[in-house]
Structure 1
Amino acid sequence: MNDTTIKEGRYLYCAVSIPDQKPDFSVTGVDDEPTTLIPIDDVGVVVHECNNLYDTDEVDLLRKWLLQHQQVVDAVGERFGTPLPFRFDTIIQGNDDRVREWAYEEADALSRYLDTLSGLWEYHIDVMIEDNELEAGLEERDERLQELTTRINDSGSGDGTNFLLEKQYNQRLATLKRRRRDERARTLRNRLSDITYEIHDRDTGERSINLTDSKGDESDRMTSQLTRLTLLAHENREKEIGDILDDVAAEPGVTVRFTGPWPPYTFTPAIGDELESEHATD
């Protein structure tokens, strides 16, 4: 038996508060497997039966599995309310009874986190700004840039001094642009913090498999990332968030992308991480 095979297991998608002990729920899951919901008191755990781990070097197949995982969690959210999602490829060895045993062990934590996240959803915000708008008026307001411009114009074009002056100019300009970008991002964050539960900055340099776009837009490279945020907010606040972003999008040279609601993947505690050690090696 290779290291991706298990005798019997359950692939875990999420936990969710359920209104009764026998909810009728089943959708197609990862690798087109049928899912079931296992009720444990007032909590349901969505699973499918499996006998192998979902490990592959094929990017397209991994993308498909990730998307199917997300679609199951989305369907649970639409039916029952905010779910507590588990990470992709979280598998517990054993049958439904083993899942119930684990859920009873984690009952207090599961109920606490589900109560905390009730009605809360994750939203993603990406704000881009054209470089010319980010630079607009900086030289007119900055004496150092004005001084460097004068010295550049007075020096010869082939002079080594000219090269050094232009380098200093670009460095000063980059510093001022960064300050302006940070100030505008901070202003937006402060406005959003009044109507959200939690805000995380997303690394502008991070790379990940994109589940929402088939292809990134790289047609215009003369733009800068103003900010990338992940919000945890109540569903009743979605319109207010949208109104704030409409104000930002109305500013010259600014583009805003607002997506959600998503299950709160970013804000989910690490329940179930110990299950990863239960992969069979027999």
Structure 2
Amino acid sequence: MADDTDTEFEEGRYLYCAVAVDDGADLDTEGVDDEPVRLLAVDDIGVVLHDCESLYDTANMDELRKWVLQHQNVVDAAGEVFGTPIPFQFDTVLTGDDDRVREWVGEERGTLADYLDQLAGHWEYRVELRREEEALREDLVASDDRLAELDEEIEAAGSGTAFMLEKQYDQRLRELRRERRGERAAALRDRLDEFARTVDELGERTTLDDEGGDDGMETQARFTVLATDDNEEEMGEMLDEVAAETGVEVRFTGPWPPYSFVPAIGGEDGTETGG
């Protein structure tokens, strides 16, 4: 987040995404904080933007969520009109006027053109594999001889020894959970590779995620997938097969602009990032 002294400036351009320009195509929508959005074309590369005089800096989480959603809606709309865009992260601002944007596109033309070409027709999908915690625990307990041995020893032991054995039992159960997550993640990744150009593992959920909390389910794998929409249906059918297992749930979302598969834009050459 930018310092207070950096959040305001004389003139700037808020950047949503870069697109391959199609003759005659244009974008008519509103963006962050209901600002009017426009397309600035520099030869065959267009930048979707709006004029601004400050970064979008707030401590209000509801307002931040609204702005992020508005940002995403603009990028989605650009994708529908121009094809796969290069999306920029929320609150990427180039200080200066339209000529500065043209100059920046000239400086970054090689990178922008390469990614627009490489990503054409590709979209991002998110896949999360979840398993009922109690069903997973029962499966692990039923299939592991060491847990069975420890359970018998705990039953026969005195209170002090039982306490130490229970700690060993819990540690063993944690190890088995970790192993099972790794096995399930690897198996799902192999199956996703059949339909995707790139499959990357995702980290933990963030505070801006829509869902979370303790619902009795354990996440065993989260992936972001780069694939063409031609493979979407078959990939979905494969995931339906995975989800048919008792106690298993699969979340499959997309297509989204390829946020996870583009170069970082911001922080250099006059661009600033806040939020």
1:8 partner SS: strand
Q: State the alpha-carbon separation in 2 of the partners of residues 139 and 89 from structure 1.
A: 49
1:91 partner SS: strand
Is 1:202 paired with 2:202?
yes
Name the aligned partner's letter for residue 207 of structure 1. Answer: T
> Which whole-Å deviations, capped at 9, do the CAs of 1:27-53 have from their partners, x for residues lacking one?
101111001101111111111011111
Report what 2:162 is aligned to.
162
Name the aligned partner's letter for residue 261 of structure 1. Answer: P
1:106 partner SS: helix
Per-residue deviation at 1:181?
Answer: 2.2
Distance 1:67 1:218, change over 3 A: same
Structure 1's consecutive aligned runs of 4 or more residues displaced over 6 angstroms after TM superposition are: none
1:23 aligns with one of 15, 19, 25: 25
1:236 aligns with one of 230, 242, 265: 230
Q: State the alpha-carbon separation in 2 of the partners of residues 140 and 88 from structure 1.
A: 48
* Contact kept in structure 2, 1:91 and 1:275, CA below 8 Å: no
Report what 1:106 is aligned to.
108
* Contact kept in structure 2, 1:128 and 1:256, CA below 8 Å: yes
* Contact kept in structure 2, 1:134 and 1:181, CA below 8 Å: no
* Contact kept in structure 2, 1:36 and 1:46, CA below 8 Å: yes
* Contact kept in structure 1, 2:17 and 2:48, CA below 8 Å: yes
Is 1:171 paired with 2:174?
no
**Equivalence map 1:126-205=2 (5 Å):** 126-156=128-158, 159-204=159-204
1:266 partner SS: helix
Report what 2:11 is aligned to.
8
2:131 partner SS: strand
Name the aligned partner's letter for residue 21 of structure 2. Answer: I
Q: What is the aligned-residue identity percentage?
A: 52
* Contact kept in structure 2, 1:128 and 1:226, CA below 8 Å: yes
Report what 1:267 is aligned to.
261
* Contact kept in structure 2, 1:90 and 1:276, CA below 8 Å: no
Aligned residue-pair number: 270
RMSD, aligned CA: 1.9
Name the aligned partner's letter for residue 100 of structure 1. Answer: R
Is 1:258 paired with 2:252?
yes
Q: Gaps spanning 5+ residues in structure 2: where?
A: none
Q: State the alpha-carbon separation in 2 of the partners of residues 62 and 275 from structure 1.
A: 26
Report what 1:46 is aligned to.
48
Per the normalisation by structure 2, the TM-score is 0.91
Per-residue deviation at 1:2?
Answer: 5.2
Q: State the alpha-carbon separation in 2 of the partners of residues 140 and 83 from structure 1.
A: 49
Distance 1:265 1:50, change over 3 A: same
Per the normalisation by structure 1, the TM-score is 0.89
Stretch moving more, 144-153 or 254-263: 144-153
